[in-house]
């Protein structure tokens, strides 16, 4: 009965029932590969969320008895033990997706995440997942290169924007048509106002090297303590036009034809806290959306939420911004850009599979 009701909801949404948003950034499982069943997530989505990406987390938190004893950490900040890449996440996501009726599958865009971006064999992993589970995946990510607190904990070689392994991943994604959702902090934690963001030059060079690849820069490059770039002399929350340097950086990318393949997602409550901090920051963000309505995607960055209220909480953090965004731009950021980007990703990936997967 529950599945039948969910299928009926999916059919109504497929018939263009308006939803509040599509979710460009959703984790079905957490750092110890636990989460919710996809049918439960479909119930949470209801009619409020139209479509959603679907992925786990590529890293598994080690439970080291010597470090935390009987305490079993469920998050990377709860222990000093390392993280390691967990490739089985891709098979798990694929099987969750395949467990749904076709009408419900149409609402999801599963993503491949279980690869090490410092491994020259990573592109082979992605190829293997596509050929093992044809008809399932639309993209890769969210995967991380530089991420506060996380990167130093990953066992093995540290990922880098200059590593040719990453170039091979993005090149293959461009060949296949996979949408890329990439997390890379724009700066180091606790950076001083006025300094050039430490990873900006390398990130822009990477993006320019892969013009055929559709890349979504997760969280606009921001993090829990990686705050928006600021001009020297700005004091942060009490500055009326808060963080003009960050806006300038983002806009310089959006205005450059060399980055026409680059988009930004605005997921994570840690990002929203910067955006809604002051009337000036709200206005600056709304103005940016109005000027470049086709280059931003809304996402929650929720991890296995228990109910719909938790899922929608992230969306309503942005209410002050969307109140100042014109209706056409609001629709594009909340829904339209997702549909355009991921519909094209699906089309191209299915075409690649038709040519490369043995029947």
Q: Where are the domains of the chain?
A: 25-356
Positions of E strands within 35-107: 49-54, 59-61, 83-85
Spatial CA neighbour of 44 closest among 101, 104, 93, 84: 104
Which range is least confidently modeled, 82-96, 126-140, 233-247, 273-287?
A: 233-247
Q: Rounded to an integer, what distance in angstroms lies between the CA atom of residue 47 and that of residue 130?
A: 30
The band of 237, judged by pLDDT with boundaries at 50, 70 and 90, is very low
Least Cα distance to 179 among 339, 344, 6 occurs for 344
Give pLDDT, residue 358. Answer: 85
Q: Per-residue b/e over 260-278, b at no fewer than 16 CB within 10 Å?
A: eebbbbbbbebbbebbbbb
The answer for residues whose C-beta is within 8 angstroms of residue 74's C-beta and 6 or more apart is: 30, 31, 32, 34, 61
For the segment 243-267, what is each residue's pLDDT rounded down to a tens digit? 578 999 999 999 999 999 999 999 9
CATH number 3.30.470.20 given to 25-356: no
The average pLDDT across 87-93 equals 98
pLDDT digits (tens, 9 = 90+) for 332-348: 999 999 999 999 999 99
pLDDT, mean over the chain: 92
| Confidence at residue 149, expressed as pLDDT on a 0 to 100 scale | 92
pLDDT at 241: 38
pLDDT digits 0-9 by tens, 20-37: 999 999 999 999 999 999
The model carries a pTM of: 0.93
CA–CA distance, 206 with 26 (Å, rounded to integer)? 25
Percent of the chain with pLDDT over 70: 92
**Separation of alpha carbons 344 and 17, rounded Å:** 21
- Tell me how many degrees the CA angle 112-336-209 measures, rounded to the nearest 5: 50
Rg of the chain on CA atoms, in Å:
20
> Could you report the per-residue pLDDT of 54-74, keeping only the tens digit for each?
999 999 999 999 999 999 999
Q: Which of these, 172, 59, 164, 76, lies nearest to 116 by C-alpha position?
A: 59
Could you tell me which residue, 350 or 1, shows the higher pLDDT?
350
Report percent pLDDT > 90 for the chain.
Answer: 86
Q: Which two tokens stand for residue 113?
A: 């995440």
Distances (CA, A) of 279 to 23, 221, 237, 267, 275: 26, 22, 10, 20, 9
pLDDT (0 to 100) of residue 340: 98
């Amino acid at each position: 009965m529950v599945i039948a009701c969910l299928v009926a909801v999916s059919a109504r949404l497929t018939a263009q029932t308006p939803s509040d948003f599509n979710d460009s950034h959703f984790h079905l499982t957490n750092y110890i590969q636990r989460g919710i069943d996809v049918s439960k997530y479909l119930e949470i989505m209801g009619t409020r969320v139209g479509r959603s990406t679907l992925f786990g987390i590529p890293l598994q938190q080690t439970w080291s008895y010597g470090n935390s004893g009987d305490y079993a950490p469920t998050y990377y900040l709860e222990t000093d033990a390392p993280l390691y890449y967990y490739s089985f996440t891709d098979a798990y996501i694929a099987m969750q997706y395949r467990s749904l009726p076709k009408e419900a599958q149409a609402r999801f865009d599963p993503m491949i995440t279980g690869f090490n971006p410092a491994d020259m064999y990573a592109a082979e992993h992605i190829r293997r997942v596509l050929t093992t589970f044809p008809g399932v995946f639309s993209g890769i990510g969210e995967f991380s290169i530089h991420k506060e607190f996380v990167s130093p904990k990953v066992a093995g070689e540290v990922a880098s924007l200059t590593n040719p392994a990453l170039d091979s991943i993005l090149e293959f994604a461009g060949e296949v048509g996979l949408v890329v959702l990439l997390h890379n902090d724009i700066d180091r934690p606790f950076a001083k106002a006025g300094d050039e963001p430490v990873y900006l030059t390398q990130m822009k060079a990477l993006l320019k090297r892969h013009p055929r690849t559709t890349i979504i820069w997760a969280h606009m490059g921001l993090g829990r303590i990686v705050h928006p770039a600021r001009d020297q002399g700005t004091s942060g929350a009490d500055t009326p036009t808060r963080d003009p340097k960050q806006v300038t950086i983002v806009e310089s990318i959006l205005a450059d034809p060399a980055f026409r393949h680059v988009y930004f997602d605005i997921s994570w409550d840690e990002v929203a806290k910067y955006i809604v901090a002051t009337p000036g920051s709200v206005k600056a963000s709304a103005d940016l959306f109005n000027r470049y309505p086709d280059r931003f995607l809304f996402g929650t960055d929720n991890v296995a939420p228990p109910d719909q209220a938790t899922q929608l909480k992230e969306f309503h953090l942005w209410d002050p911004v969307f109140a100042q965004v014109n209706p056409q731009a609001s629709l594009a950021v909340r829904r339209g850009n997702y549909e355009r980007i991921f519909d094209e990703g699906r089309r191209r990936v299915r075409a690649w599979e038709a040519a490369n997967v043995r029947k």
